[in-house]
């Protein structure tokens, strides 16, 4: 079966669509709509392969590639990024064409050697270095921390394609290769989730790199990412989205996230949600149980929020572990310009709210009050007090 897809006269997609992927980065990243590992074969006077696919699909990748081209005709391999979802098929490929030069950044060389421990023929490149391949030229642009130190973009003149690797990508399996052929709501949701969970910590660098790229005034017909769709219709729309997302993005949303043992903290969360909308009917409120809902989806909702309320009952003088796992991830996101407060029920010692407050501060949130504690199961009066806490929270963040 030939799975290759011609994109332009000179460029063919030779990647892998992974429909069944539901967890990525081990078990750390949920991918509800699968993913793809996009690899591109460029044929001019010289033949170039840009990136490969994830290791489990290495043999399948090489077998399929052989249906498209005699591997010995490949003159150069470009590795835009060394993470194994893109470099994982290199060992299988290099067994077939061992001397073929691999172009990557200096950090890319380190990451390839660190991953595979092979003495491959690696050529390192810097921003502005070029590779003449015939009518077209490949121009390399280092993009460190978008999202690894080794990352680079490769731009192809003539076809005007930016091969951006992870940047502008989405974990989104699709047989239709282009952005205008998929469900736009799904595409938007996956692109945003990808940015929120992977690129948020590097937002200042994202802004800087995009502005540097735009200043180069390269005509861009296609942005060929390494995951999900190729941006073909208005390709710069995702670049503009990234500039917005990188600029302390927020919507008129408040996210309440909690964990609960016997539902007292859940009832507090729901009462607070009611209070928030009583005070501000226009604000969007979302409520999640951290032990039930997907962590990456919650992180995405926090990314979209102007404020967050974190709740937990107290157990063993601490707060509950699902909230601890979530907040550990949130700390790494380095969110900016978001407000927060804590809440939770307790039976005797009641440390959770104080500990949550401290961790919210450590995560970079502006904590606007000392939080709301409820002893045992909330009474009707206590639920009214939680509603008032929600109303006051809206006033505190205004
Ligand atoms: Fe898609 Fe950073 O690998």
Residues 219 and 365 in one domain: no
pTM of the model: 0.96
State what percent of residues in the chain have pLDDT above 90.
99
Residue 197 has pLDDT above 90, yes or no: yes
Report pLDDT for 1: 75
Considering the chain, what is the average pLDDT of its residues? 97
Domain boundary residue, one of 189, 222, 245? 245
**Catalytic-role residue among 37, 44, 150, 227:** 227
Catalytic status, residue 45: no
- Given the structure tokens 């992180």, which residue do they identify? 299
**Structural domain for 347, as ranges:** 253-392
Count: domains in the chain: 2
Mean per-residue pLDDT, 359-385 = 98
Asked whether residue 182 is assigned to any structural domain, the reply reads yes
Which H or E run contains 284? strand 284-289
Residues 299 and 333 in one domain: yes
Asked whether residue 398 is assigned to any structural domain, the reply reads no
CB neighbours of 336 closer than 8 A, spacing ≥ 6?
Answer: 203, 248, 364
Residues 118 and 28 in one domain: yes
Residue 203 has pLDDT above 80, yes or no: yes
Q: Which atom of ligand 1 is nearest to the CA of 165?
A: 1
Q: Does residue 85's CB lie within 6 angstroms of at least one atom of ligand 1?
A: yes
CA of 86 from ligand 1 middle (Å) equals 7
Q: How far apart are CA 326 and CA 45, in angstroms?
A: 51
Q: Does residue 267's CB lie within 6 angstroms of at least one atom of ligand 1?
A: no
Residues 211 and 295 in one domain: no
Report pLDDT for 137: 98
Catalytic status, residue 32: no
Catalytic status, residue 85: yes
Residues 123 and 218 in one domain: yes
Residues 314 and 386 in one domain: yes
CB 37 within 8 A of CB 3: no
Cα torsion for 91, 156, 13, 196, to the nearest 10°? Answer: 80
Mean per-residue pLDDT, 311-316 = 97
Mean per-residue pLDDT, 377-384 = 98
Residues 237 and 278 in one domain: no
Report pLDDT for 135: 97
Residue 2 has pLDDT above 90, yes or no: no
- The DSSP call for residue 183 is -
Residues 177 and 275 in one domain: no
Asked whether residue 95 is assigned to any structural domain, the reply reads yes
Q: Does residue 171's CB lie within 6 angstroms of at least one atom of ligand 1?
A: no
Residues 117 and 261 in one domain: no
CB 274 within 8 A of CB 390: yes
**Catalytic-role residue among 51, 142, 166, 270:** 166
Residues 64 and 193 in one domain: yes
Domain CATH number, residue 131: 3.60.15.10
Domain boundary residue, one of 196, 213, 245? 245
Catalytic status, residue 22: no
DSSP-assigned letters across all residues of 12-81: EE--EEETT--EETTTTEE-TT-EEE--EEEESSSEEEE----GGGHHHHHHHHHHHS-GGG--EEE-S-
Q: Does residue 81's CB lie within 6 angstroms of at least one atom of ligand 1?
A: yes
Asked whether residue 219 is assigned to any structural domain, the reply reads yes
Residues 238 and 354 in one domain: no
Instruction: Name the residue with the closest Cα to ligand 1, atom 2.
Output: 83
Domain boundary residue, one of 245, 277, 302? 245
């Amino acid at each position: 079966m030939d799975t290759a897809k011609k994109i332009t006269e000179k460029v063919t997609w030779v990647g892998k669509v992974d429909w069944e992927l539901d967890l990525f980065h081990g078990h750390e990243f949920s991918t509800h709509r699968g993913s793809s590992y996009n690899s591109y074969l460029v044929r001019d006077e010289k033949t170039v392969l840009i990136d490969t696919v994830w290791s489990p699909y290495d043999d399948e990748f090489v077998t399929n590639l052989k249906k498209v081209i005699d591997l010995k005709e490949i003159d150069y391999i470009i590795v835009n990024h060394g993470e194994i979802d893109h470099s994982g098929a290199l060992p299988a490929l290099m067994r077939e064409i061992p001397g073929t030069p691999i172009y990557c950044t200096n950090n890319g060389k380190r990451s390839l050697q660190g991953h595979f421990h092979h003495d491959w023929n690696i050529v390192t490149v810097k921003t502005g270095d070029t590779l003449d391949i015939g009518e077209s030229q490949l121009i390399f642009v280092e993009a460190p921390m978008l999202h690894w130190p080794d990352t680079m973009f490769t731009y192809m003149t003539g076809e005007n394609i930016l091969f951006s690797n992870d940047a502008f990508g989405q974990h989104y399996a699709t047989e239709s290769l282009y952005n205008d052929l998929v469900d736009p709501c799904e595409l938007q949701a996956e692109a945003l989730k990808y940015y929120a969970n992977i690129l948020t910590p590097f937002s200042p660098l994202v802004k800087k790199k995009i502005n540097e790229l735009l200043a180069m005034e390269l005509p861009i017909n296609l942005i060929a990412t390494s995951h999900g769709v190729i941006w073909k219709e208005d390709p710069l729309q995702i670049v503009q989205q990234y500039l917005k997302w990188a600029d302390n993005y927020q919507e008129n949303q408040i996210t309440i996230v909690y964990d609960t043992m016997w539902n007292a903290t859940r009832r507090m969360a729901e009462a607070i949600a009611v209070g928030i909308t009583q005070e501000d009917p226009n604000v969007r409120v979302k409520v999640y149980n951290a032990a039930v809902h997907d962590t990456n989806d919650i992180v995405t909702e926090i990314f979209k929020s102007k404020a967050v309320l974190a709740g937990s009952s107290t157990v063993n003088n601490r707060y509950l572990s699902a909230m601890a796992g979530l907040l550990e991830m949130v700390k790494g996101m380095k969110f900016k310009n978001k407000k927060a407060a804590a809440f939770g029920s307790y039976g005797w010692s009641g440390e959770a709210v104080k500990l949550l407050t401290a961790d919210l501060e450590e995560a970079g949130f502006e904590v606007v009050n000392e939080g709301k504690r409820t002893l045992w199961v909330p009474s009707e009066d206590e639920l009214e007090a939680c509603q008032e806490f929600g109303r006051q929270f809206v006033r505190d963040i205004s």
